[in-house]
């Protein structure tokens, strides 16, 4: 008898998880058309869809038999993670988008699950409980069409990294005005690369001075045209950046995180050399990038971190090359 109740409960859990998953999959497919009203990078999808998935899952499971409270926190994760895996398999999303979506989606799903559990326990009227379900199911579709004018922002973010190098400013300058091809062995392992951001390859220079053009290339066909607007040898090198967006394949950066796309762009870069004496040069690298979403408060946590991680990797390559060259000259 106990085994029958256990199996019935497992079926109930499986049914609730399936309903939550199907709901999320239908919305992802519908939002995937990327029309002007229903877009993926919105509060309605990123925040409210996993909230609704968690709510639906727990609501269905709790409908006939109360579960332990801890299940309200964890069962909502199952349809969300299954949906993320499905989106990856179907190539609807790249690794960067998936990594950015999972933390906020799991939190939202848990909140939805807890809300459903509390409503199931505290609201006695069946009609009221069902009404709450209908409201939550419709919430992403109601909020998304009206959120953009209220929450859309265009933020400019500046990120700075620095590193101390045991080499002269002249030697450091020669390694930043042009960057010969970077071998994979020169690059340290990186979490940003692990989630899909391509490795830097090289930077060429058409001519020295203001107006010169650097072609900064990355793996996967990513190319930045960098027009020099600050040229102070052994002191400062600045350049406006134009991403060759049309040349970036979806297999490298999908449309939601594509540099130069609707949501993200890198606008300017700036190297500054600071002589500390005793043969040490401090090299600063600054970048200016744009974030344009309905949830910039969350998106810029990722864009700032990715840019910081990328800049540190580049600076470490430059340090290694400069210090090796300095040691060779002294040897």
Closest CA to 213 of 185, 257, 178, 183: 178
Residue position matching structure tokens 């690059």: 187
Angle at 99 between CA 152 and CA 148, to 5 degrees: 10
**Residue 100 CA from chain centroid, whole number:** 4
- The answer, yes or no, to whether residue 65 has pLDDT greater than 80, is no
Alpha carbons 219 and 234: distance in angstroms, whole number: 29
pLDDT in tens, 269-299: 999 999 998 899 999 999 999 999 999 999 9
Write out pLDDT tens, residues 199-230.
999 999 999 999 999 999 999 888 999 999 99
Mean pLDDT of 57-78: 89
Helix then strand then coil, in percent of the chain rounded to 5, is 55, 20, 25
Q: Where among 131, 151, 171 does a domain terminate?
A: 151
The torsion defined by the Cα of 115, 121, 127 and 128, in degrees rounded to 10, comes to: -50
Q: Is the dihedral of CA 313, 319, 324, 325 positive or negative?
A: positive
Residues 91 and 167 in one domain: no
Q: At what angle do helices 49-62 and 77-89 cross, to 10 degrees?
A: 130
Q: Which residues of 226-239 are buried (b: 16+ CB within 10 A; e: fewer)?
A: bebeebeeeeebbb
Structure-token pair, residue 289? 């990038």
Domain boundary, last residue among 91, 122, 151: 151
Number of domains in the chain: 2
Strand order in the sheet with 200-205: 153-165, 280-293, 264-277, 236-243, 222-232, 213-218, 200-205
Is a pLDDT exceeding 70 seen at residue 4?
Answer: no
Give the integer Cα–Cα distance in Å for 24 and 28: 6
Same domain, 104 and 206: no
> Which range (1-10, 50-59, 91-100) has the least confidence?
1-10
- Which structure tokens are listed for 321? 């090359």
Pick the last residue of a domain from 134, 151, 168: 151
Same domain, 180 and 144: no
* CATH number of the domain bearing residue 247: 3.30.530.20
- Pair (166, 53) in one structural domain: no
Q: Closest Cα partner for 273 from 285, 261, 262?
A: 285
| Alpha-carbon gap, residue 278 to 284, rounded angstroms | 18
Q: Which domain holds residue 191?
A: 153-330
Residues 252 and 295 in one domain: yes
State the Cα–Cα distance between residues 257 and 194, nearest whole angstrom: 15
pLDDT in tens, 224-274: 999 999 999 999 999 999 988 777 766 667 777 788 888 899 999 999 999
Residues 305 and 238 in one domain: yes
Residue with tokens 């940003």: 192
């Amino acid at each position: 008898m106990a085994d029958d109740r256990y199996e019935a409960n497992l079926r109930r859990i499986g049914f609730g998880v399936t309903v939550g998953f199907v709901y999320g999959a239908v919305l992802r497919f519908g939002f995937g058309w990327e029309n002007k009203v229903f877009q993926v990078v919105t509060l309605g999808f990123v925040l409210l869809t996993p909230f609704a998935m968690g709510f639906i899952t727990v609501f269905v499971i709790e409908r006939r038999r109360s579960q332990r409270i801890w299940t309200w926190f964890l069962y909502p994760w199952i349809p969300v993670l299954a949906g993320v895996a499905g989106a990856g398999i179907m190539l609807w999303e790249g690794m960067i988008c998936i990594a950015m979506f999972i933390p906020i989606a799991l939190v939202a799903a848990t909140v939805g699950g807890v809300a459903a559990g509390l409503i199931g326990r505290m609201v006695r009227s069946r009609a009221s409980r069902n009404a709450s379900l209908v409201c939550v199911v419709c919430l992403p579709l109601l909020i998304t069409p009206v959120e953009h004018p209220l929450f859309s922002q265009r933020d400019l973010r500046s990120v700075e990294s620095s590193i101390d190098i045991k080499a002269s400013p002249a030697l450091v300058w020669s390694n930043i005005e042009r960057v010969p091809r970077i071998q994979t062995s020169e690059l340290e392992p990186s979490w940003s690369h692990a989630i899909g951001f391509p490795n830097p390859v090289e930077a060429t220079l058409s001519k020295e001075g203001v107006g010169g053009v650097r072609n900064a290339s990355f793996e996967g066909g990513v190319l930045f045209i960098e027009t020099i607007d600050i040229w102070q040898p052994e002191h400062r090198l600045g350049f406006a950046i134009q991403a060759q967006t049309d040349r970036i394949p979806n297999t490298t950066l999908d449309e939601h995180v594509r540099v130069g796309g609707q949501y993200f762009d890198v606008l300017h870069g700036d190297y500054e050399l600071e002589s500390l004496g005793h043969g040490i040069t401090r090299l600063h690298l600054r970048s200016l990038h744009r974030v344009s979403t309905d949830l910039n408060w969350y998106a810029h946590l990722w864009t700032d971190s990715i840019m910081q991680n990328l800049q540190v990797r580049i600076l470490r390559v430059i340090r290694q090359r400069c210090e090796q060259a300095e040691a060779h000259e002294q040897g």
